[in-house]
Structure 1
Amino acid sequence: MSDLPVAIAGVDGCKGGWIAVRADPGQATTVQIYAAFAALVADLPSNAIVAVDMPIGLPDVTHKGARGPEGLARPLLKQRQSSVFSIPSRSAVHAETAPFTTLDEWYAAHRRASEVARQTSDPPRAISIQAFGIFAKIREIDALLIAEPQLRARICESHPEVAFCRLNGGEPMSLPKKIKGMVHQAGMAERKALLCRCGYDADFLDQSAPRGAAADDFLDAAVMMLVAGRIVRGEARPLPDPPLLDRHGIPITIWS
């Protein structure tokens, strides 16, 4: 049960859209799937704080540390640093918005977006397939924060492994969540144990993830909610500090 004065939510992208772990004042923690990020935000109180595992804020040009936060987060994560994707420029993220019906179209779009990324990065850098795969969700949040600037103080970027590291006294998780694309149960157990030490009930975490989300999506959303709580309490710290801003005034930083 949340003792905070405002609602908090931790969010991760998933196959079904977005998974949100939510706690309202005096209420038990819940988990729910939303097809659209805007619908998720609309379902929350107007003063709720959201921490989401999705890049927010897109610079016009990227450098060696990608947008900036990525380069600061990786050294903290040591053996877990591969979980931090390099996100390219705004023009690269928005270069290919048409739907894909075949794998050939997907890879062709990736190549075209990578060329835009190379032209807007110094040194020139292409886009990983993993990063390209989340561009649609990045654009979803980006469009919302451009259209509704008042949300920028309430919707905060975080990263699960950075959050776990922060909650673990600055030490990254010793085991991966996945190995070769498959959930690694020992790594999941390590993270569940830390979440329980930070206040979660084991029964809540042991439930099956809602349809449309994977087990690791559920845990990532759960740790995102803890970051949202840290933001409310004034305990969270941004990387970088102070946050950078993109051309729209959207903060570029990872909170944990």
Structure 2
Amino acid sequence: MIAGGIDGCKAGWLLIWKDQQGYQYALLDRIDDLERFAKSAAQFFIDIPIGLSSETFHRSIEVKLRKELKSRSATIFNAPCRAAVYEVDKNKAKELNKRILGKSLSEQTLNIKDKILETDRYIITSKSASIQLLESHPEICFKYLNQGQILMSKKSQKEGVKQRLDLLSQLDPEVKILYERILTETKRNQVKRDDILDALCLCLANQIGLKTQTHFITDENQVDAQGIPVKLAYAKLDIGYDGIFPQFSS
């Protein structure tokens, strides 16, 4: 099975995966372009909400996710309800969300609303049985790849970039090569450094989860009105980990 990670970026989506030829990457205009790259069974960790609130179902997993990240909880934002996601007019979307969930929408959420829509529509309508998208979150994955310790540095700063790249490179040295390659082959107004780090982290966590165990964070509200599970995927390493896992490099 192909294991990959997906993060949104200005260009659309940054897809990173590892197959028998090693690490690969692609920029997708839309999420349904995945099917051009995943010709066989594939599982992708993606940094986007999956499973949305409605009149009859309220997604509440964000409360649990914020507790996971404590002082870094600002990296978790409230997912909009499905009606707001499908509303083209931003002001009407904010009104819908306030009526259904009691909260308006932040600019951050509005900026990724179209990507949430793409993903939701793809999951509901896709005929592909071989592609599985699992909601994940880079900072939660970084935490559990760091033996459960939250990374307090910010990816917008050099220290944060270095800390995360060093952590991923300890697990698989090929990661740094791909990071530098993507930096060289893309422009920063299309793909930022933190987009690359996030997609790499999701890809590596996905690989580790497939080879050991994929863990999920859930709460009491587990299935939305469309029958889509609400759960966040991650992988974790044993506390005794002190070196490279050779099997993750092949």
| Cα-Cα RMSD | 2.2
| Superposed CA offset, 1:80-110 (max 9, x none) | 21111101211121122xxxxxxxxxxxx43
Tell me: CA distance 1:41–1:85, structure 2 relative to 1, closer, same or farther (3 Å): farther
CA distance in 2, matches of 1:62, 1:118: 15
Q: Which of 49, 52, 71 is the aligned partner of 2:63?
A: 71
CA contact (8 A) 1:16 1:34 kept: yes
- Is 1:54 the equivalent of 2:48? yes
Partner of 1:204: 178
- Is 1:171 the equivalent of 2:165? no
**Amino acid in structure 1 at the alignment position of 2:207:** G
Partner of 1:3: none
CA distance in 2, matches of 1:130, 1:31: 26
CA contact (8 A) 2:42 2:131 kept: no
- Is 1:16 the equivalent of 2:8? no
Tell me: CA distance 1:36–1:155, structure 2 relative to 1, closer, same or farther (3 Å): same
CA distance in 1, matches of 2:83, 2:216: 25
CA contact (8 A) 1:177 1:187 kept: yes
**Amino acid in structure 2 at the alignment position of 1:48:** A
CA distance in 2, matches of 1:193, 1:61: 44
**Amino acid in structure 1 at the alignment position of 2:230:** I
Number of aligned pairs? 229
CA contact (8 A) 1:62 1:120 kept: no
Q: Which of 136, 139, 150 is the aligned partner of 1:158?
A: 136
Matches within 5 A, 1:63-212: 67-96=59-88, 109-121=89-101, 124-148=102-126, 151=129, 154-178=132-156, 184-201=157-174, 202-209=176-183, 210-211=186-187, 212=190
Partner of 1:104: none
CA contact (8 A) 1:60 1:247 kept: yes
Matches within 5 A, 1:209-224: 209=183, 210-211=186-187, 212-224=190-202
CA contact (8 A) 1:95 1:113 kept: yes
3-state secondary structure, aligned to 1:29: strand
Partner of 2:31: 37
CA distance in 2, matches of 1:192, 1:44: 26
Where does the alignment leave 5 or more consecutive residues of structure 1 unmatched? Answer: 1-5, 97-108, 179-183
CA contact (8 A) 2:142 2:201 kept: yes
CA contact (8 A) 1:67 1:86 kept: no
Tell me how far 1:153 sits from its aligned partner: 7.1
3-state secondary structure, aligned to 1:93: helix
CA distance in 2, matches of 1:243, 1:46: 32
Where does the alignment leave 5 or more consecutive residues of structure 2 unmatched? Answer: 235-250
CA contact (8 A) 2:141 2:202 kept: yes
CA contact (8 A) 2:141 2:205 kept: yes
CA contact (8 A) 2:54 2:225 kept: yes
CA distance in 1, matches of 2:220, 2:143: 20
3-state secondary structure, aligned to 2:38: coil
**Amino acid in structure 1 at the alignment position of 2:196:** F
CA distance in 2, matches of 1:252, 1:152: 20
Structure 1 segments (4+ residues) deviating >4 Å:
149-153
Query: What's the TM-score once normalised by structure 2's chain length?
Result: 0.84
Partner of 1:106: none
Query: What's the TM-score once normalised by structure 1's chain length?
Result: 0.82
